[in-house]
A and B are shown apart, each in its own frame.
Chain A
Amino acid sequence: MTAIPSGIGTPITGLYGVIAEFSDAQSLLDGATAAQEHGYTELDAFSPFPIHGLAEAVGLPKTRLSLIVLVMGILGGLGGFFMCWYANVIAYPLNIGGKPHNSWPAWIPVTFECAILLAALGTVFGMLALNGLPMPYHPVFNVKRFDQASRDKFFLVIQARDPKFDLYQVRDFLDTLNPREITDVPW
C-alpha cells in the first residue's frame, strides 16, 4: 500500500477504504457517530451482533422492506382466493351438498396460508436482496483480522469513494477514536 496517491476528491484505484478495529460496542457506536458528525458519508460499521442506533449512525435511510412484505402478502391473498375460485367455480364446478359454487368461506383458509407464504418469501428474499446478499467476495474480507468481526471485535470503515476522503486525514481521524488497529482495505 505504498504507492497510493492522496488528495481530496481524487478516486484512488486499488483502495476500498480505511478500517478501524474497536474492542467494544460503545466505542464503535461513538466512533460511527463522530465520523458522521465529521462529515463522512460513505461509512459502514461491522459488529458481531446488532447494535441499536448503529445503522442510523452510518446513515441508512428507511428500509422499504415492510412495503415489499405488504405487497407480497396482498398478492398472495388475492392469488390464493383466485386459485380456489377458479378451480371450483370455473374450471371444475361440483355440487357439494347443494352449496353454491362460489362458497367463499371455504376458500379462506387457503387464501390465508397463501398470503402468509408469499409475505414470508417476500420478507426473506426482500431482506437478502436489499442487503445485496449473497455476496461471496467483499473487500473487507481482505483485512486479516476481519474474521474477528463475527466473534468479539467491532469495525468501522470509511470508504475511498467518500467525497471527503483523503487517506492521511482519514487515518488521522480514525486515530482520534482510539481504535485497536487501523488498516487500509485493498479491493
Chain B
Amino acid sequence: MAIKDQTPLHEVRPTTQELRMVPERYLPTPVVEPGHSFASITDHISTIVLRKKTPIGWLVGFTLALFAVGLLTVSMTMLIGKGVGIWGINHPVGWGMDIINFVWWIGIGHAGTLISAILLLLRQEWRTSINRFAEAMTLFAVASAGLYPALHTGRPWFDYWLFPYPNTMGLWPQFRSPLIWDVFAVSTYATVSLMFWYVGLIPDLATLRDRATNIWIKRAYGAFALGWRGSAKHWYRYEHAYLLLAGLSTPLVLSVHTIVSFDFAVAQLPGWHATFFPPYFVAGAVFAGFAMVLTLAIPARKFFRLEDFITMKHLENMGKILLATGMIVVYAYAMEWFYGLYSGNPFETYMLKNRATGPYWKMYIALWVCNGLAPQLMWFKRFRTSTFWLFVVAMFVNVGMWLERFVIIPASLHRDFLPSSWGMYHGTIWDWSFFIGSIGLFFCLLFLFVRILPMISIFEMRTLLPEAQAHTEEEGAH
C-alpha cells in the first residue's frame, strides 16, 4: 500500500490520535465529526426517514402547519370569490403585501441553489451537509412565492394567458414587459431547482430502496430511484451532469432576482428607478436565504441529532456569509441616499425624506436595526459559534428582509409625484391570513420532506470520509 502513503498533502486528514497533540483552540472545526464510517453515516441519516415511529414533535409541528394551510385555503376561496379587493391594495398602492411576500419568498429561495451550485463550483466542501436541505427549502419557498403573482392577477383561472401559445383571440404576451420576464425567470428557476434537487436525490433514493424493509416503501423509493445501481460508468456521467447543472444554475440564480428587481427598476417611480437594483436584490436574496437556512437548520440538527454532520463549522460559515451579504445590503441602503441626494431631483430627495420621517418611518428604522445592526454581531466568534445568537440574528434578518420589501414597495408607491394622489396602505386581515398561510404551506412541505426524504445528502457525506480517497497508480506516482 505504498500508494496510500503518497496521498497529496492537502488531502491528508489528521487522525484523532494526532489531533490530541494539538491544543484544541487551534484545531479547525471538522465538517464531519471523527469516528464515522460509510455505514454509520448511511444508517444514521436513512433511519431518520425509515423508522416506523413518527416523532411527537414532528406531528405537532406538522399539524400546526396544516392549520395554516387550512387558513390559506379559506383565504384563496375568499379571494377567488370576491376578488383582490379583499386585500388592502387600492389607488395609489396597487402592489401591497402580495408582492412584498412574493419577493420575500423568492429571495429566501436563493440560498438553496447558491449553496448547491456556487459553493460546489468554488469547491467549498462544507456545503455538503446543508445543500439538500437548502435545495428543498428553495423549492418550497418558490412554491410559496408563486402563489402571490398567480393570485394577484385577480382571475387566476386565466393565468395560462401569461404563456405564449397560439390562441383564437389572436393575443400574445408583451415581451417588452419585465413582468413577463418574471414569468419565465421564476418558472425556469423552479424547474431547474427541482431537477437539481431530484438528480442529487437519485443515489440516496437507491440507498433508501435497499434499506427499506416494507415492500411498498421499497417499491416507492425504488420507482423514484430509477434503478440506480451505483455503476462507475453511471457515476461518471452523473458527476459530469451535476457539474454542468451547477454551471447552468449559477447564472440562473443570479438572473432570477435580477429580473425580479427589473419589475421595479424599469418603472419611473422614485425609490424604484435605480440602476443598482439588480446587484442589491441579489445580495439581499442571498442574505435572506442564508438567514432562513440558519433558522431551519439550527432546530433541525438539534431535533434529529445531526450535530455530527451539521457541525459548528457550517453554522459559523453561514454566519460569515450573513455578515458579508448584510454589509452589501447596507451599502445599497447607503447608496440609495447618495443617489437621491446627488441627483438633485426633488422627487428623489423627497422620497428619501419620506422614508425616514414619513408615515412609515418606524418600518425604516426597524429595517436598519434588523439588517444593518443585528448582523454586526457576526464579527465576533463568540456570537458566530453560539446557536442561540445565530438563531436570534437570523430571525432579525428574516424580519428585516420583509421590512426592506415593505419600504421599497408601499412606502415608495404611496407618495409619488402628485400630492393630490397620495394615500396610505395598510394590510387587511386577508393580507395577513395569506402571509400566515404561505408560511404554513412552506413548513408543511418542509415537514413532509424531512419525514420521507433524507435531509442530508448521504452519498456526498460518504465522500467526505478519508476512506473515500482512492488513487490509481499513475496518480500515486507523482
Residues of A within 8 A of B (CB): 24-26, 28-29, 32-33, 44-58, 60, 63, 65-66, 69, 73, 80, 83-84, 87-88, 91-92, 94, 96, 99, 103, 106-107, 109-110, 112-114, 116-117, 119-121, 123-124, 126-128, 130-131, 133-138, 140-141, 146-152
Closest 5 CB pairs of A and B: A55-B236, A152-B38, A127-B241, A134-B226, A147-B210
Q: Could you tell me if A48 and B470 are in contact, using CB atoms closer than 8 angstroms? A: no
**What mask results when residues 210 to 246 of chain B are scored 1 for a CB within 8 Å of chain A, else 0?**
1100000000001100111111111111111100110
A136 touches B235 (CB 8 A): no
Residue B203, interface by CB 8 Å:
yes
Complex partner residue of B463 from A50, A106, A121, CB under 8 angstroms: A50
Give Cα A47 to B1, complex, Å: 21
Taken residue by residue from 143 to 184, chain B's Cβ proximity to chain A (1 for < 8 Å, 0 otherwise) reads as 000000000000000000000100000111111101011001
- B222 near A57 with CB under 8 A, answer no
Cα distance A133–B226 when bound, in Å?
A: 6
B172 in contact with A91 (CB, 8 Å): yes
Return the chain A residue nearest B182 by Cβ: A109
Q: Are B475 and A137 in contact (CB under 8 A)?
A: no
Q: Mark B239-263, 1 if CB is under 8 A from A, else 0.
A: 1110011001101100100010010
B356 contacts partner chain A, Cβ-Cβ < 8 Å:
no
CA distance A50 to B264 in the complex (A): 45
| Alpha-carbon distance A25/B459, docked complex (angstroms) | 14
Separation in Å of the A130 CB from the closest CB of chain B? 5
Which residue in chain A gives the minimum CB-CB distance to B244? A123
B185 touching A109, Cβ below 8 Å? yes
Contact status B195-A26, CB under 8 Å: no
Judge if B473 is at the interface, Cβ distance under 8 Å: yes
| B273 sits at the interface (CB 8 A) | no
Interface SS of B by simple majority: helix
User: A44, B232: Cβ atoms under 8 Å?
Assistant: yes
Contact with A along B188-221 (1 / 0, CB 8 A): 1001100110110001001101110000000000
Instruction: Quote the shortest CB–CB distance from A183 to chain B (angstroms).
Output: 15
Residue contact B470 to A124, C-beta cutoff 8 Å: no
Given A65-B240, A106-B175, A149-B210, list of 12 further CB < 8 A pairs? A25-B468, A29-B472, A44-B231, A46-B232, A49-B462, A56-B472, A60-B232, A117-B191, A131-B237, A135-B226, A136-B222, A150-B230
A94 to B171, CA, bound (A): 11
Asked if B42 and A124 make an inter-chain contact with CB atoms under 8 angstroms apart, the answer reads no
Which A residue's beta carbon lies closest to that of B178?
A109
- B 350-382 binary contact with A (CB < 8 Å = 1; else 0): 000000000000000000000000000000000
B37 touches A (CB below 8 Å): yes
Q: Is the CB of B222 within 8 A of A130?
A: no
A-B contact pairs, 16 of them (CB 8 A): A44-B232, A48-B203, A51-B468, A54-B236, A58-B232, A63-B236, A65-B244, A87-B164, A88-B175, A92-B171, A112-B251, A113-B181, A133-B226, A133-B234, A147-B210, A149-B230
Q: Are B471 and A53 in contact (CB under 8 A)?
A: yes
Given A48-B459, A96-B174, also A116-B248 (CB < 8 A): yes
Say yes or no: is B39 at the interface (Cβ < 8 Å to chain A): yes
CB distance A60 to B230 under 8 Å?
Answer: no
Partner of B235 from A26, A55, A80, A99 at Cβ < 8 Å: A55
Least CB distance from B12 to A in Å reads: 15
Chain B residues within an 8 Å CB radius of A33:
472-473
Q: Name B211's contact: one of A58, A63, A66, A151 (CB within 8 Å).
A: A151
Query: Is B301 in the interface zone, CB < 8 Å from A?
Result: no
In the assembled complex, which residues on chain A have CB atoms less than 8 Å from the CB atom of B5? none
Indicate which residue in B206, B239, B248, B262 contacts A109 across the interface (CB closer than 8 Å): B262
The answer, among B223, B245, B475, for a CB contact under 8 Å with A123, is B245
The answer to whether B459 and A49 touch across the interface, beta carbons within 8 angstroms, is yes
Judge whether B467 is part of the interface by a CB distance below 8 angstroms.
yes
Q: Does B460 contact A (CB under 8 A)?
A: yes
Nearest CB in chain A to that of B236: its residue? A55
Whether, in the assembled complex, B91 has its beta carbon less than 8 Å from a beta carbon of chain A, the answer is no
Interfacial chain B residues near A138, Cβ < 8 Å? 227, 229
- B180–A150 CB distance below 8 A: no
* A117 adjacent to B192 (CB under 8 Å): yes
Give CA–CA (A146, B196) in the complex, Å: 27
Most buried by B among A46, A109, A121: A109
Q: Is B4 an interface residue (CB 8 A)?
A: yes
Q: Given that A116-B252, A133-B228 are known contacts, is A87 also in contact with B241, CB under 8 Å in the complex? A: no
- Contact of A57 (CB < 8 Å), options: B164, B229, B235, B472: B472
Interface flags, B60-71, vs A, CB<8A=1, else 0: 000000000000
> Which residues of chain A come closer than 8 Å to B192, judged between CB atoms?
116-117, 120
Which residues on B sit within 8 Å (CB–CB) of A50? 235-236, 238-239, 459, 463
Smallest Cβ distance from B226 to chain A, in angstroms? 4
A24 to B229, CA, bound (A): 17
Partner among B164, B171, B210 whose Cβ is within 8 Å of the Cβ of A150: B210
Which residues in B have their C-beta under 8 angstroms from that of A73?
248
Given contacts A55-B232, A87-B173, A127-B199, contact A151 B188 (CB under 8 A): no
The answer, among A56, A63, A106, for a CB contact under 8 Å with B237, is: A63
Across-interface contacts of A131 in B (CB, < 8 A): 231, 233-234, 237-238
